[in-house]
Every structure is written in structure tokens, then in C-alpha cells.
Structure 1
């Protein structure tokens, strides 16, 4: 006697529907970069608050302009890393249950940031940055919406690994032993 079961029962729906978040953040990132390039000259600054400006800057490197003056090869290195990370994040979303909203949101945010910055590197050869904070005693390196998405998504992944990952794994083991 063969037992038939629905594939939906065996495997929960994947987290790929969370790609909507990737698309929304990516569109916001690209729109804000486009507006920056169209409305400001390079290094031109528009004061929003006494400590916050929109300043058009170009980042030829990675975070904090790491390897920014390396001669151009870094564009290919950082683009390659972004493609590998993006593929891993898509795989992670595919294998993560749609019910795990926190992790799928985190993956979607990091993915949107990686794609947003790699698009800039491939199109322009640099990343467009424009968010500029100067606290008087410290000036933060200029950044963009993609950087914010990567930071928030990475922080969510770290928080998950510190506080919830072990509990989730124990629950999976418990659930699988109950199914037997």
C-alpha cells in the first residue's frame, strides 16, 4: 500500500515571495541615486539639518571606500562577491520557510543592497553615495539606501543567530520527531 501526500504538506512554501521587499528597496535605492546624480554636482552638498546633508559622492571601493584607490580591478572583485552573496541569499530564501518572516526580510534587505550597489559598479564603475552625517566630533562616511539595507539585514541575521537560531533548530527537531 503506497502512501500519497501533498508536496505542500512535506515542504512548506519557500521565502521567495519575500523578493517583493528586495524589489521595493532596490527601486528606492536606484531612484534616490538617480535623483542625486541629476540634481547635484559631484561633491555638491545640500543641507537638510545641521548635522545631515545630501552630498553627491562616488565610492570606487567597498564600505568606507576600502580599496577605493586600487586602480579599477576592485570593481570586478566587489561585483563578483556581490554575485556570489546574491546567489547564496536567493538559495537561502528558497530553502527558508515563508513563515520565517524575520529571516526572509533580512535576506531580502541584504540582497537589495548587494544588487543596488553592484548595478552602480557595473554601470558607472563606482557606487553613488549621498547620505552625509557630520556630528561635529565625527563625520560618518557618505552612504546610500543600499548600504542601509545591507546593514539592517545583516544586523537582523546576527540578532537571529544570537537569540533565535538555536531555539528554531530545537523546534525543527521536536517537530520532526513528532511526525515519526
Structure 2
């Protein structure tokens, strides 16, 4: 019995490689933070930006962070599904901006997913603040996810059919 081989678009390798590089870069930085900084340490760099070492057992903005541990498995399942879907989407020809969005989202999902799998939490190290107000701490994977969603939204808006003018 012959199996059909699914052909991957030539540019797919580039987008998948970008996703892997983003995930690896994120893991390298997190590894350095874990190795060189005690948990909770903060290093002020500017009047509005700190480098630090924090853990997040939840999702964005620490959503479900204090839920007793079951959320780790939920987020791992969601990350696994997103990884499969995004990889599949990147294996087909896509407009450049859309592929960039998928690639950045995949890289971010890989970076934070590896953390959840290996550590049980996500390492965050970037802190933006104004006076006493702090944005929730984040990392390179979070930045990639955010930029990926923005790129995908821009691609979707660009491809929207223009409304017909009534005569």
C-alpha cells in the first residue's frame, strides 16, 4: 500500500526555522536568568524598565496562576494543539505577513510550552512600569506571540474584500 506524502511548500522550511529560532532564543535567555539570578531579583535598567526573575504558573496576566496546578496540563494541551495547527498551517503556501504571524506565534508557543513541560511554570524576566504601576512581567516568547497576532491581524485586514459600492 502506498502512502501519500504531503509536499511542504519551499518557503515553509524558512518559517518553521524562524519559529524554532525564536523558541530556542527564548529558552537560552530563560536558562541564563534561572542560572544567574535568584528568584525574585530585580535589576533596574531605566526609570521604567527592570530585568528580573519571576515565575508564572498561569497564562497571560497570570490568568489561573493560583489554581492549584491543574492549569499546567490545560495549558500544555492547548500549546500542543496550537503547535500542531500552526505547523500544519506553515506547511502550506501563505502570504508572507500571514506566515510571519504563524511563525512568531509558533515560536512563542514553543518557548513557553517548553517551560511548562520542563519546569512547571514560565520564566518571566521583563518588567515595564510607571511609578508604582507594573505591567505583568513577560518574556521573549510573549513578545513573539503578541507580534505574531499583530502580523496575522494585519494580514487578515489586508486580504479583506473591499465592499462593493451600490450603483
Whether the TM-score (by the shorter chain) exceeds 0.5 is yes
Q: Write out aligned runs for 1:22-171 (5 A).
A: 22-97=19-94, 100-136=95-131, 138-162=133-157, 164-166=158-160
Report Cα offsets for 1:71-112 as digits up to 9, x if no partner: 111000001001111111111111234xx2211111110001
Distance in 1, matches of 2:75 and 2:87, equals: 18
Q: Runs in 1 of length 4+ with deviation above 2 angstroms?
A: 11-17
Uncovered stretches (5+) of structure 1, i.e. residues with no partner: 1-7, 168-180
| Structure number with higher helix proportion | 1
TM-score by length of 1: 0.80
Distance in 2, matches of 1:105 and 1:12, equals: 14
Cα deviation for residue 117 of structure 1 reads 0.4
TM-score by length of 2: 0.86
Uncovered stretches (5+) of structure 2, i.e. residues with no partner: 1-6, 162-167
Q: RMSD in angstroms over aligned alpha carbons? A: 1.8
Report Cα offsets for 1:118-176 as digits up to 9, x if no partner: 100011100000001112263100000000000000111111112x2235xxxxxxxxx
Cα deviation for residue 16 of structure 1 reads 3.8
